[in-house]
Amino acid sequence: MASKKNNPKEVTENDSNSRRDFIKKSGLFTALAFTPPSLVMASENKWDEKIAEYLETVPLSIEVNGKKHNLNIEPRTTLLDLLREQLQLTGTKKGCDHGQCGACTVHVNGTRILSCLTLASMQQNAQVTTIEGLSNGKKLHPMQEAFIKHDGFQCGYCTPGQIMSGIACIKEGHANSREEIREYMSGNICRCGAYHNIVDAITEVKEGGKEL
């Protein structure tokens, strides 16, 4: 049973490996015969892949939470993916990734937007603020303090988006009543249903009158 001969899987693999090897080697010899030596070296160092990768990227200068970054990114990278996957700023959350939940809300040049529907390649020289950029050292932003005080969350997943949106809501002048806050915060969905406490938190910060 244990012998190699009786194990069909191994026999097939060996066969296919040797066939694949043969094709690979003969292909390589044919290629070598017709290819200038410089390109062979390029291929060995995977330069072609590196060049292709480079050609498919665009340069991007972007400032995030006061720190400048010079990057090369694929044009299809969303601002959300850039923040989370390349800059390791995972405070901004990916909820629906389709502009329906608001969890990815960040400020770009002082305006709240949805980072999941924003191509990073279109944000040349933009100034981005995420939830990580709010606190002053260990001192939390007034809106962060208010969310804790009023229990403006349960699971916390929508909270970074809610806080970024709440700050903008006040700055825009749309926090003059509970109704207005609800209307202008409607792009931020909270599945735990902490809305009442979120409105409390925003109202308190608004009434506190601190500069945000």
Q: Interface with other proteins by CB under 8 A: which residues? A: 56, 58, 74-76, 78, 97-99, 102, 105, 111-114, 117-119, 121-122, 124, 165, 168-169, 172, 174, 182-184, 186-188
Q: Which of 120, 89, 115, 111 is nearest to 103 (CA)?
A: 115
Question: Taking a C-beta distance cutoff of 8 angstroms, is the pair 19, 11 a contact?
Answer: no
Tell me the C-alpha distance between 64 and 67, whole Å. Answer: 5
Positions of E strands within the chain: 58-64, 67-73, 105-108, 111-114, 127-129
Question: Taking a C-beta distance cutoff of 8 angstroms, is the pair 202, 183 a contact?
Answer: no
What is the closest distance, in whole angstroms, from the C-beta atom of residue 125 to other proteins in the complex?
A: 12
What is the closest distance, in whole angstroms, from the C-beta atom of residue 72 to other proteins in the complex?
A: 13
What is the closest distance, in whole angstroms, from the C-beta atom of residue 191 to other proteins in the complex?
A: 14
Q: For other proteins, which is the closer residue by CB, 147 or 184?
A: 184
Query: For 53, how many CA atoms within 13 A lie in the half-sphere containing its CB?
Result: 7
Q: For other proteins, which is the closer residue by CB, 14 or 125?
A: 125
What is the closest distance, in whole angstroms, from the C-beta atom of residue 84 to other proteins in the complex?
A: 16
Q: For other proteins, which is the closer residue by CB, 13 or 56?
A: 56
